[in-house]
Structure 1
């Protein structure tokens, strides 16, 4: 069960430049907070952009590692060349709808160059159910 934040976190839209940098990179680097409060070492994660939003998925370890921490805390830090930002994490509900297929198609378009073997694990029902939307946190005053 995700932990509730003490107060809501304000987010902002991705800038066109941020979206371009994220879309142009093969992997983003993500860091999440452990239960102890320490930040994990950044790990590479495949990422896609669709309609001004940023999505990541995992194909294994749904309750542990970076993914489990991201779902639990609803926060992460990400970086790609030219972009380093704290984000909120929203777990999306899975379902056989057009949205899930659109994210699948974005993964296939970006990572399918090696054939279905390379991207197949990211478009399974289990991976679809792990889809997270990342939104940049607004700068604090």
Structure 2
């Protein structure tokens, strides 16, 4: 696993939103999708409200890589499925960062959304 440098980790982790472009099978990038991003420890995560059936999530499964942009950082990434033991820490990060959006944040804390938790790793 490749790790983020401290500056990029802090910038992306503090950003309100992240734009994610996943790679198609032919290597071209899909249109960007804007979503929430959280930092838990030294790792960055995203989730699909629609779970593994969400269109953007399914797009990440083609090549397991793409590009993200947030907090002034643009980076090529690998999408790694998070282990279930990481979910509680990611849940806490979502609650802390986005808890002010009470009626919305609960949608990323469902079992369906947890199943789509992806760790973003720089490449």
TM-score normalised by structure 1 residue count: 0.79
How far has the Cα of 1:36 moved from its partner? Answer: 4.9
Give the distance between the partners of 1:13 and 1:101, measured in 2 at CA. Answer: 21
Tell me the equivalent position of 2:117: 131
CA contact (8 A) 1:93 1:129 kept: no
Map 1:1-141 to 2 at 5 A: 12-60=2-50, 62-63=52-53, 65-94=55-84, 97=85, 99-115=86-102, 117-137=103-123
In structure 1, the gaps of 5 or more residues are 1-10
SS of the residue aligned with 2:50? coil
Give the distance between the partners of 2:79 and 2:107, measured in 1 at CA. Answer: 21
CA contact (8 A) 2:15 2:70 kept: yes
How far has the Cα of 1:16 moved from its partner? Answer: 1.1
How many residues align? The count is 123
CA contact (8 A) 2:45 2:119 kept: yes
Larger Rg: 1
